[in-house]
Chain A
Amino acid sequence: ETGVTQSPTHLIKTRGQQVTLRCSSQSGHNTVSWYQQALGQGPQFIFQYYREEENGRGNFPPRFSGLQFPNYSSELNVNALELDDSALYLCASGQETQYFGPGTRLLVL
């Protein structure tokens, strides 16, 4: 059984740009959740995908969007990046128990 993987590990963008982060879920898991973790804070729920449909959303604006593919891998897209979007973005697969990936660290300049 393979674990959750995320790519890239880190990246730097400038304000106004767009970014796509990727996640491969643990084998057998059809649910993927995305979280944003700002420095010194706990992770905050962005949204969840279940069998390619959005299955719940946290308090994030529409410029945060996502996709889930038939193989249950997932993307998080953020448009019109703002400085406050700088954070660690975590992907987790599973629902009853969520298994986390290592995260992608995004820096917006």
Chain B
Amino acid sequence: AQRVTQPEKLLSVFKGAPVELKCNYSYSGSPELFWYVQYSRQRLQLLLRHISRESIKGFTADLNKGETSFHLKKPFAQEEDSAMYYCALTSGSARQLTFGSGTQLTVLP
């Protein structure tokens, strides 16, 4: 069965510092991975997906199949990046999302 693990429930960094949110997965097939973000009082929204290999709001994530990881990185954190971040993978004919438990990122001034 597929599983997504986000080991950090809380992460605080200072503005301008690099940030890395960790995500590890287990899945027997070829995974498709996503990062979703939820800003305060807003709905869950897609941040990026690994197949598009794009950078959104300065965030990037590389799929490492050897380490089964999909860590989210940003070189210089901004205060507006403070949010809850969820890593997810999609599977099955319904392409249902399996989410991790999330990491609350706080960027301090």
User: Are A100's CB and B86's CB within 8 A?
Assistant: no
A45 and B98 in contact (CB under 8 A), knowing A56-B92, A56-B93?
Answer: yes
User: Are A58's CB and B96's CB within 8 A?
Assistant: yes
A48 and B43 in contact (CB under 8 A), knowing A42-B88, A42-B102?
Answer: no
User: Are A43's CB and B99's CB within 8 A?
Assistant: yes
**Bound form: Cα–Cα A98–B46 in Å:** 8
User: Are A48's CB and B101's CB within 8 A?
Assistant: no
B41 (CB) vs chain A CBs: closest residue: A102
> Chain B interface: which size bin?
20 to 34
Contacts of B4 in A (CB 8 A): 42
User: Are A90's CB and B95's CB within 8 A?
Assistant: no
User: Are B101's CB and A40's CB within 8 A?
Assistant: yes
**Bound form: Cα–Cα A100–B99 in Å:** 14
Chain A 14-56 residues near chain B, CB threshold 8 A = 33, 35, 40-45, 47-48, 50, 55-56
List chain B positions with a Cβ less than 8 A from chain A: 4, 9, 43-46, 49, 86, 88, 92-102
